[in-house]
Structure 1
Amino acid sequence: MIRNKEGEVEKIVAVGRDITKRKQAEDELCATKERLESFIKNNGDAIWVIDRDEKVVETNAAFDKLFQWKSEEIIHQLLPITPPNLAQQTRELHDQVLSGQSVIGFETVRLRKDGSLVDVSTTLSPIHDTTGHIIGIAGTCHDITEKKQAEQMLINSEKLSIAGQLAAGIAHEIRNPITAIKGFIQLMKSGVSEKKLYYEIMSSEIERIEMILSELLILAKPQLIHSDRKDIRNILSQVTTLLESQAILSNVEIITECEPDLPPILCDQNQLKQVCINFIKNGIEAMSLGGTLLIQVKTQNENSLILRFIDQGCGIPEDIITKLGQPFYTTKEKGTGLGFMVSKKIIESHNGTINVFSKDKEGTTVEVYLPTFN
């Protein structure tokens, strides 16, 4: 208001400012907030938010359902879903996220309120404030129990397939020492001398049968992951013993070349044996006219070694190599396509990688890179 000398209002000055954009921004911000809250609340995956001290800020209904914790029970409390034996691993993951990195699709196990464990795939992302500082962590995970069960079924199916294909070779290998043992027993019954020599030969043959059968039992053992320091040369020696008879029947010579002083690897011995069995069998079957299967082991660098399986077989066309690892996709008449997929999964679970190089009608090279344990 503008007044005159007498104090009366003569004029009114008005100032207007266009706040359309501000109102639109506020509306958009409100709508975004509502959408985000709706997304979190109604998402089928478990979602939680924790601060830098790992105390719970927010959870959604799917979290409550999966882990059996109600939001009001754990709000402002430490996140209670990490098993005690994985506390250090979780701490390292959180440190990684608080440094600005994200963790995507990490497969692990988490703890329910009733003490049971559940297989989950977890993604963790940093939460920033308006100044760009990281103030917490947003986590999502979904239950992969059925996926794990399906993978185990595929592994069991592949083991049965391998056992069936090995049966002919194993039967042939065991028949020879059994025939010798039966012959010596008949000689001993007839009263022939030199019985001590016969005992030694029979004992040697029985030990060979036991060795073959013990290696075959690897395929029937449950896939419990038990990592330990192992010498890759010993694993290859045991596997080639198992497959030697099949190679002989196929007129294939298995040659192993290993560098001296190879560092040990941290692995589940049974699983790695299964990988070697798959690749050696593939090499033997690819050489229908016989040939040489070369197995090489070399150190790639101070932290890893390379394991090569080189055959002289029919090779794999380039358009098929890209499809390796797909279930039930195979070039074999009676194959399942599961062998390579299972092997690849095992190698990846050991933090390794696999490459396949092949030329049609010239042979195939499978390269497996595994971390060493120094």
Structure 2
Amino acid sequence: MLGVISIFNLEGIFKDGSSSFLEKEQRRLTELYSLNLIGTPEEKSFDQITNLASRLFGVPISLITLITEDKQWFKSCVGLPDNLKESRSTERSAAFCHCVVADGNPLVVQDSSLDERFINNRFVKEYNIRFYAGAPIITKNNNVLGSLCIIDTKPRLFSEEELNTLIDLSNWVKAEIELKADLIERTISEQSIRTLYEVTSNNELSFQDKLRNLLILGCKRFNFPNGVVSRIKNNQYEVLEAIGASGDFLKQGDLIPLTDTCSSNVAASLEPVHIKDSYNQYTVNGFKIDEYIGAPIFVNKQFYGTFCFISGSHDVRTITYSDLEFLQLMAQWIGNELERLQSKTKLKESQERLQQIANNIKEAFWMFDIKEEKLLYMSSAWFDISGMTFEDFNQNPTLWLNAIHPDDLEYTVNRFKDIKESGEFDYRLFHANGTIRWIRNRIVPIFNKEGIISKIVGVAEDITDSKINEELLRKSDKLAAVGQLAASIAHEIRNPLTSIKGFMQLINNEQCSFKEILISEFNQIENFINEILMLANPHHETTYEKKPIDKLVQEVVNTIKGQANLHEIQFSLKMNDETITILCDGNQIKQAFQNIIENAVEAMPDGGLVSIEIGTELEQFVYVLVEDQGIGITKERLTKLGEPFYSNKEKGSGLGLMISYNIIQNHQGRIEFTSQLNKGTKVKVLLPIEC
């Protein structure tokens, strides 16, 4: 969009007032004004054409007309009455040439008195115009500027050959206009480039000084009182520099909604824009804008802002294509200069950003030289993954191999040796603190000019948490299956067991001397079945009440103490001075602690001490810490505790600890295990405090 002209007053002239026609008329007027032909003196090159037309066709009047939004302007005229020749214009609505422009085709009126379109025309009545023939002047942009026409005061016939001759003459007019336009544009372009070079090449001026000088230069060149350089971001118009005759029109740092400014048209089109007669459309800080020219500023090929000039007056000024080209040239320099000034800063910021990314993201970057067998680079994230630094690896090249889990060593080394293309694989690595971490390595080979792999670049990611989640999901599926199995088994066993127990109670003591032992065993089986049912439905028959945690634990210890004394196991209880209550099912909580404490007892076949401590944590939880001096649990086994059918004991089913896990989880708590081989195990149970 290279120009916007007010043409709303044409709606009354044309029957066709459609938006498509008005847009076409707008483009036509924009080009007409840009050619700088309106209001200019007579020129010999055009007068030669009209004189030739009068002689060729033997008519008294020959005209080159240019049609503006409201007038018919005579660029050249032969034979006009003195009053018209002096004014060199008439109203557009009465002009025959208006029809040529509107239709875009030649018009021949052999007798106006017989043509309904022109019977009442003012020129027909006042100047006795009877014959008219006009050929459109069409530019290379397909805009009709006006016409070359011949006029007579008497009717006459006009042959097709004569019409073709008239069209040829109109094409001559077009050629003259284009020649004149090219000459003007070349002259202005040379001057513009020279002036711009003088301003921008002055090394004594700062960028801000040059910017201000360009605004001053533009105001003088385009005859505008105000100039603004802006940055447009997030639909906000920010003033970077401004000059104006009004002084306080705009100042540096002002922020305006983009939609309130003419620059919204530049942002939409990303091309130079000329807006004329917009007095009632745009108002900025009380300043009503009548005319505006603006060009986009691009930095790094991205739209940055605008370089524009603004007027609030209705002064007559002509903005040509050359003017808009010069405006764009200045805007282009501003963009290039901004790009140059920002390049160092951006480069520095980019380097810092990349370094921050490499040092702070969880993924670790590394590069290895195969020929030198040397680690070239390793980001600091490797320290979080392995507990070892770049310097550690360089000082001891075997450190990485020694850190790989023995079960994964051969597989991992082969993946590096056989690399031919990019690949991804997982392996386990011993962290410097002794924990095992799962690592996912993505490696990419780098080939030299001979096509041989010279370096390997990789990205290592700690996926231990992901692996744990996968394991938890596996456990969850397993628990669901066990729950279903438990419900089925408990149902099948309970029914016959109830019958057997009932009949045993009917037998008197004389008939069965082992009755009490049998019933005791039956009760034990029933308790086991109840535990199994808890797996199938952990919330079955659960009654929550406020209970003191210390008394629950004490009751469990008292129950187990007799059995523990047989194995020379002592208990040490350290409890909080104040009673701490929890909302729970007392029997279930005691069952959970009984399983945990019995495991501690069974872990010390040669005797020892079971320490139990009760306290608070974060003022929201009560903890019960059970510590034994037993055989301990390996790291691999720790991760599987709580799974069904997995036990640290030779003949254990693993159901007891799994039930304890379920009970504590159903009470919104959790269980934590830590252990060392041959030193003992610590079990920490956390439960929410009932306030």
- TM-score over 0.5 (shorter chain): no
Q: TM-score, normalised by structure 1?
A: 0.44
Task: Select the structure with the greater relative contact order (CA < 8 A; seq sep ≥ 6).
Answer: 1
Structure exhibiting the larger radius of gyration computed from Cα positions:
2
Q: TM-score, normalised by structure 2?
A: 0.25
